[in-house]
Amino acid sequence: MRDFVIEALTELVPVRVSRQELLRGSRRLRWAEAGVGRPTIVLVAGCGETALDWASIMPKSAECSRVVAYDRAGLGESEPAVPLTIETQVEDLAALLDEVGPAVVVGHSWGGLLAQLVALNCPHRIAGLVLIDPSHEELETWWATAAEVAMATGVVSLKSVGLFGKVARGMGRSLAMRCTDDDRLRGLIADAYVASYSSRQQVRMIRTEALLAARSAPFAREARGTSAMPDVPVVVLSAGRGKPRSLQERSAPLMREIAASTPRGRHSIVDDAGHYIHHDRPEVVIEAIADVVAVIRAESE
């Protein structure tokens, strides 16, 4: 079967890109991999997103070290887990880190919370963290949860009436425009984005993960209340725009608290970026990853 994502990333990334997989019981967890060197960099996308969401980050990061961008169960090329639970997602990431790590884990939004949960539960698997506007259990509100689930439900409805493909292509083109000026390559990225959500099951995962995130607060509170973050380099990047003022005011102290929970943590607000900082200001994220990798390498010498 044609792998559109690998084709697109191969055109973007200056070194060889390959598809790898890990058996998780009877299902396969798959990822795109490029580059060589240690520590490995593991990219964990936001809710409902796939490995392709990191197309703006992988090229430069693969010049720095080995980079792994994986699809969570049921998304992209990874096979679904039934039932899907937050424990499953945390255990999948931990198993991936057993295979490729310890690693610098780079997590966006929901992926940022999953990265923290693995750091709290399995600290030996974490070499460093870069958290990109990460989710936090104390930011959950009923209206935000309802809005997120309603949006995800709308996406599933579009698929059921045959309209999601058009929406997906528009989103793919938007991502492509942030990655390259080459029209042919933009077309490849858009094709890869559409292919990542070609089945109804893949699209349903957007809603499934939104519901999972909405119910994650008790699990996250327990983990944060009973475990400590590892003493590793941590960078927390917050979006400077795109949020209601009340949410921004609640978010900033929590992000500072995450950074302060480890001796080598720092927090920065990226003023001219929205929630998808790695799309709006990829150079900021690439620099943060490179800084964490450099610290780890210096300590290992």
Peptide bond into 83 cis (omega under 30): yes
Interval 67-104: pLDDT, tens: 999 999 999 999 999 999 999 999 999 999 999 989 99
Total count of residues recorded for the chain: 301
**Contact assessment for residue 104 and residue 42, using Cβ atoms and an 8 Å cutoff:** yes
User: Distance (Å, rounded) from C-alpha 265 to C-alpha 261?
Assistant: 7
Provide the pLDDT for residue 181: 94
Q: Would you place residue 143 in the very low, low, confident or very high pLDDT band (cuts 50, 70, 90)?
A: very low
- Angle (deg, nearest 10), helices 110-121 and 200-214: 60
User: Distance (Å, rounded) from C-alpha 148 to C-alpha 299?
Assistant: 41
Provide the pLDDT for residue 200: 83
The H-or-E segment that residue 30 falls in is strand 27-34
Token readout for 264 is 């080598």
Fold of 4-139+218-300: Rossmann fold (3.40.50)
| pLDDT reading at 172 higher than 70 | yes
| Domain boundaries of the chain, sorted by first residue | 4-139+218-300
* Phi/psi at 28 (5° precision): -110, 130
